[in-house]
Amino acid sequence: MKKNIVFTVIMIAAFTWQCSKVEQSLSLKESIEANTAKINSAVDMIAGSEGYQILSLTESGTKSDYLDGFSDSIDLKLIAGIYNFKPGNEQPRNFYFPFRLFQKTGTSEKLIVNLPEKLVFYPKHLHFCNRADSALKNNFVISATDYHFYFNRWHNSDYMLVADLAKDSKEIGNLSMFTAWKSGSASSYSKKFTLPEGYSIIRQGETGDTNKVVFALTQDKDTLLQEKLMFYGESFKRKEKLYILSIGNVDIVRGTEFDSIQVYLDGIIQKTAGAKIIDDNQDYNSSICFRRDILLTFDDGTTAKLSELLSPAREKLRSLSKAIEEMYFSKHIVDYIAFSIYYNNH
C-alpha cells in the first residue's frame, strides 16, 4: 500500500511540474505525430548499430546450464585485471570450462577482457572454443567497472554488472544491470543499454504484492517512449491496477482510481481528446510492443491508431523489449568469461 501511495504522489508531482512549463506550441495531434516520428527515427538508428546486435544475441549454441549447481559468490576484486583471449593446454578443471580461455596480462581495478569479435557475436565459438581462434585479433573489449554475482542453493541471487563495450577501439555501448531475487519472495531488476549516440533502452521491474514493469526508450535526458504497468497476480490471472504510456510530452493514463482514460499534453489534461485501449487478450504481455494498441481521438474529431503511427518501429521495439529483458549477453558472454577466470584462478 505504501509503495502505491508513493507512486501516485510521484505521478501527481510530475504532472504538476509539467503544468508549470510554458504553454505548448503544438496541438495533441501534432505532438503525437512529431513524437512518434522521433521514435521511428531512433529505433531505425538503433537497429543498424552493433549495440543492437549485442542485445539480439540468443543462447543458441551455448552451454545454457553451466550455472547449475553454482552456489558461490564472485566479486569484481576476485577476477579484476587485464585478460587476453589465449586458450591454454592445461588439464581440465571444470566440465563447462574445459581449459583456460584467458591469460592475465596486467593488473587493473576493473575486469578488462580482450577477445576476438567472433566469440562475442557468435557465442558458440566461445562456449565450444577452438584453440585455432587464438590466432584471431583480440579486437573486442569488455571493460567492467562493477560486477558481482551471489547465488546459493536456495536460488536466491544478487547480480550487478556495469560494463563498457568497444570494437576496434570504437565504443559500442554501455550495459548497466542489477537483479535481486529471493525464492518465494519479492524481486527487482533494472537493465539498461546505452549507445554512444545517447539512446538508451531500459527495462525495470518489481514483483511482490503488486508487480511493476517499465519499458523505456530515451535519448540523453529526454524520454521518447515509456510504458509503465502495475498489476496484481501473474499471467492470465493478472489484474491491472495502473497503466501509463508516455510518448514524449504526451501521457495516456488508465487506472482503477480513474473513471476513464486520461490524456495529458505537457501535464495538462485534454478535455475533448480521448483514448481507447485495445487488447488482443489479457495477459502479462499486454503492451504496445506486443498485444496492445491505442486508438486516439484528437480535438478535431480525427482518430489514429498508435500501432499505425509506430508501424516502422513497432517490430523492432518488440525485439528490443524482449532482448533487454532477457539480456543474454550478460549471462552467456560476461558471466561465462568471469566464471572461466574465477574457476581457473581459484
pLDDT for the residue numbered 19: 44
Q: Residue 317's pLDDT band (boundaries 50, 70, 90)?
A: very high
Mean of per-residue pLDDT scores for the chain: 85
Q: Quick: pLDDT tens for 269-279.
A: 999 999 999 98
Question: Can you give the residue ranges of every domain in the chain?
Answer: 2-345
Q: Residue 188's pLDDT band (boundaries 50, 70, 90)?
A: very high
Distances in whole angstroms, Cα of residue 145 to Cα of each of 33, 68, 79, 165, 177: 40, 26, 12, 11, 12
Closest CA to 24 of 246, 266, 251, 248: 266
Q: Quick: pLDDT tens for 23-69.
A: 458 899 999 999 999 999 999 999 999 999 999 888 665 665 555 55
Evaluate whether 174 touches 181 at the Cβ level (below 8 Å). Answer: no
3-class secondary structure, 340: helix
- What are the respective helix, strand and coil percentages of the chain, to the nearest 5? 30, 35, 35
Backbone angles phi, psi at 170, to 5 degrees: -110, 130
Would you put residue 327 in left (φ > 0), alpha (ψ -120 to 50) or beta?
Answer: left
Evaluate whether 242 touches 230 at the Cβ level (below 8 Å). Answer: yes
Name the residue type at position 222: D
Q: Which three cell numbers stand for residue 215?
A: 519499458
pLDDT for the residue numbered 343: 82
Q: What average pLDDT score do residues 229-249 get?
A: 83
Looking at the predicted structure, is the pLDDT value of residue 2 above 50?
A: no
Backbone angles phi, psi at 21, to 5 degrees: -75, 165
Q: Quick: pLDDT tens for 110-147.
A: 999 999 999 999 998 988 888 888 889 999 999 999 99
Name the residue type at position 125: H
Residues 162, 324, 187: CA angle, nearest 5 degrees: 75
Residues 120, 327, 345: CA angle, nearest 5 degrees: 60
Cα–Cα dist 342/346, whole Å: 6
In sequence order, what E strands does 298-342 have?
A: 303-305
Q: Quick: pLDDT tens for 323-344.
A: 999 999 998 999 999 988 988 7
pLDDT for the residue numbered 161: 97
Q: Residue 281's pLDDT band (boundaries 50, 70, 90)?
A: low
Name the residue type at position 154: W
Evaluate whether 42 touches 199 at the Cβ level (below 8 Å). Answer: yes
pTM for the complete prediction? 0.86
- Residue 48 DSSP code: T
Cα–Cα dist 92/85, whole Å: 17
Looking at the predicted structure, is the pLDDT value of residue 178 above 90?
A: yes
Q: Quick: pLDDT tens for 189-200.
A: 999 999 999 999
pLDDT for the residue numbered 23: 42
Q: Quick: pLDDT tens for 251-268.
A: 999 998 888 899 999 999
Q: What average pLDDT score do residues 205-234 get?
A: 90
Looking at the predicted structure, is the pLDDT value of residue 14 above 80?
A: no
Give the rounded distance of the alpha carbon of 78 from its chain centre.
Answer: 27
Collect all residues with Cβ–Cβ distance below 8 Å to 84 and sequence separation of at least 6.
Answer: 102, 103, 105, 114, 115, 138
User: Does the CA dihedral 165-172-87-336 come out positive or negative?
Assistant: positive
> Residue 185: is it exposed, middle or buried by C-beta count within 10 angstroms (0-12/13-18/19+)?
exposed
Continuous segment of H or E residues that includes residue 300: none
pLDDT for the residue numbered 150: 86
3-class secondary structure, 265: strand
Looking at the predicted structure, is the pLDDT value of residue 153 above 70?
A: no
Share of the chain above pLDDT 70, in %: 81
Q: What average pLDDT score do residues 160-168 get?
A: 97
